[in-house]
Structure 1
C-alpha cells in the first residue's frame, strides 16, 4: 500500500503523527527543488524496503509546518515562485508513485491533497476513478483506478482538512484488508 500525501493542512500533520515512524518516508524538502531526481531515487528505495516488509507506507514532502517554509525558501533560493515550488512538489511526489509502481506493483493507493492526487493519477496514466460503494469512513470513499498503469488498483482519497487523527492510518489499514482487484 502506498499513500501519497500532498496536503499541508494541520489535520493532515496530526494524522501523519499517528503513523508508525517506519511507515513514513519524507522526500527531502530542499532536494525536491534542488535535486528532484536524487530525492525521488532515495524515496523510492526507502518505500520499496518498507513495502517489502509487508507494511504500508506514506510518502510526503512536509511532515510538519516548518517543512513547508523550508521547501518554499529552497524554491526561492533556486529562483522559483511559491507556485513553481508547489508544482515541483506535485511532480516529484507523482514521479515517486510512478517509480514505486514500476519497482513493486502497487496493490493499493491512498491519496490526499487535491493537486498531488491529480498529478499522481496523471503520472500513472489513469483515465478516472470508479467508486466501490464502500468507504473507510464517512467522506473517505473506497474506489479503484480506471485505466493506465494501475488499472483496477483499490484507491482511497481524502481531503487534506478532513478526518480525525486516525484517518490516514485507518485508510492504509483499510486498503491492506480490502484490496481485492
Structure 2
C-alpha cells in the first residue's frame, strides 16, 4: 500500500487479522501525512469480500493468493502435510474453491476495464515460450485456467518487482 500511496494513489488493504491491522497501524505512524492520507485498511477475508465502490486495480501481492488459501485449507479441513489422512487432491480442491470465491469477489470489486495483478512468483511455474497467440513468455500456474474462467487474461513476463513494475501500471489510475 505504501508504494501506491507514495505515488498519490488511494489504496485499500484487506486484512483478516486484527493483530496484523494493529501492526500496520503502528507502522503507518512513521509515514508522512501525504502518504498516510491515501491508505485505508479494511478488516475482511480475501476469500469473500464486497465493496460498494469499484476499483481500477486490484493487486494480490507477495504470494498471498496461494499462501492464504493453503493456510485456510490447513485450518478449515485440518490438513497436515506430514500426517493428514486427507488426500492432496482434497487439499487442492479446497484451495481451488477458496480461490474461486476470492476471484468472484475481485470481479465484483473491479471497475469496467479494471486490472488485476497476482504477484505469486515461482509457485508451480511452467514456462511456455511462444504459445501460438503471441510472442511473450507465459507462465502457467495451477490457477491460470481458473483465473481465465473469470474473464482475465494471464500474462507474466517476469516476476513482479515492487515498486518499479507497479509505477507504469498506475499511470491513468491516479485521481
Same fold? TM cut 0.5 = no
Which structure exhibits the higher relative contact order, with contacts defined as CA atoms closer than 8 Å and separated by 6 or more residues? 1
TM-score (normalised: structure 2) = 0.40
Q: TM-score, normalised by structure 1?
A: 0.39
Larger Rg: 1 or 2?
A: 2
Q: 1 or 2, which has the higher helix percentage? A: 1
